[in-house]
Amino acid sequence: MQVSLSISNSKTETKVQSNGKWKLLRNGLLFLATLILFDQLIGEMIHYLYFKQKAGPGAETTFTFTKMNEDAIILGSSRGRRNYNPNIIADSLKISCYNAGHDGQTIFYEQAIIRMALSRYTPQLVIIDLNPEEMYYKDIHYDRLNVLAPYYGDESEVRDIYLLKGIRDRNKSDGVVVYPSSEAAQNFWMTHGAMEEWSLPVNYEKVKMSSKIYRFNSSILDIMAGIYKNRKSESGFKPLKGVITEQKAQELIRENAELRNQEGKVVDNNKIQGLEEMLSNLTSKGTKVYVTMSPALAPFSMEPSYEAIINVCKRYNVPFKDYSQDMSYNHLSYFFDNHMNKDGANLFTSRLASDIKKTFFTPTVAVLK
């Protein structure tokens, strides 16, 4: 009697478990469906709002990617955005000009702009502002690719650039130290490696992009602000007003030197490829490209990243000029912080325009005569 009771109990337990599994499967699928629906609906709503923005970084990126049609384009990070006045270039060269610089961005963002621009038209001139450390691997530069996420679904040109965020370069990370240093210890059991090397060969960004909400991660407040603000600059230029103090300048020079002396910096092949792709595509379409380093508080010094930039420019026969070496800009009155102020930017852009004119727009025949 007792045996049959325990058999019956065990059968009931098995039935309950089996029911539980089915319940989990059924409810799990139902929840997944709700989640997908929710994600698509909310995602579409935010997508709509994103492209309704009139001002702010999102609106500027959308303009640059989809509407910009100026003859000359200035590319760069915040230094590009603040140190170059496109109106001066336009007046001097008699062509329209737009400053597409974006705070905190690097070569990847510029690569996306060029791809998008070339899909619509061929600009006459592209000025690329770089800094000497531009080509080093930095995690944060990949993190900042999230500005491309809202365009992932609509613009196929930016898709694979965005996906670099998930691939990065698995052998590099900020401040890699190899332990131990003795050659005898360089075998599997003693090598200090990154955990990422062991991760599955899956680009998780591709997986995350299946969520429409995730494409607008951390941008909802900017979107709301962008809808209600009005666009301030028609040319993309964001001049800075004010002059740096001597003390602040010395602090920044010291900090910059410290950053430059950091160990473990490695040139990033993805960035080199990005620069190569830009120069190759632009020059093959007949666009004139001018690569520069705008003036800085202290002259830049040669280092592997700097050297890499020069080598790529040489390979594509593109002129390169480092204006940080020009001591005529070595006045505090031209700087706001690490960036030039409006006066400095105007002076620099006038001279840059004159140099560009000499390089590209002086008729060769006239020179020969």
Give the residues lining the site for other proteins (CB under 8 A): 13, 17, 20-21, 23-24, 30-31, 34-35, 38-39, 42, 46, 139, 143, 146, 179-181, 188-196, 198, 208, 211, 213-214, 216-218, 220-222
Rank residues 43 and 299 by Cβ distance to other proteins and give the closer one.
43
Comparing CB distances to other proteins, the nearer of 138 and 288 is: 138
Closest CB 6 distance from other proteins, rounded Å: 15
Half-sphere exposure of 284 (CA within 13 A, CB side): 8
Nearer to other proteins, 17 or 333 (CB): 17
What is the nearest approach in angstroms of other proteins to the Cβ of residue 78?
A: 14
Provide the terminal-to-terminal Cα distance of the chain, rounded to the nearest Å.
Answer: 118
**Minimum CB–partner distance for residue 18 and other proteins (Å):** 8
Closest to 239 (Cα-Cα) out of 106, 138, 88: 88
DSSP structural state of residue 149: G
The 8-class DSSP code of residue 216 comes to G
Nearer to other proteins, 217 or 284 (CB): 217
Pick 156 or 191: Cβ nearer other proteins: 191
CB of 348 to other proteins, least distance (A): 27
In angstroms, give the least distance from the CB of 198 to other proteins: 7
The two beta strands, 320-322 and 72-75, are unpaired
**Toward other proteins, which CB reaches closer, 207 or 302?**
207
CB atoms within 10 A of CB 354: 12
Nearer to other proteins by C-beta: 41 or 310? 41
Q: Which two tokens stand for residue 76?
A: 């760069």
Edge-first strand listing for the sheet containing 125-129: 97-99, 72-75, 125-129, 288-293, 320-322
Q: How far is the CB of 19 from other proteins (least distance, A)?
A: 8
Burial of 26 (C-beta count, 10 Å sphere; 0-12/13-18/19+): exposed
Nearest residue (CB) to other proteins, 95 versus 252: 252
Q: How far is the CB of 256 from other proteins (least distance, A)?
A: 14
Residue 316 DSSP SS3: coil
Residues 337, 252 contacting (CB under 8 angstroms): yes
Q: How far apart are CA 65 and CA 106, in angstroms?
A: 16
Least Cβ distance, residue 41 to other proteins (angstroms): 10
Residue 107 CB partners (closer than 8 Å, separation 6+): 130, 134, 135, 271, 274, 275, 278
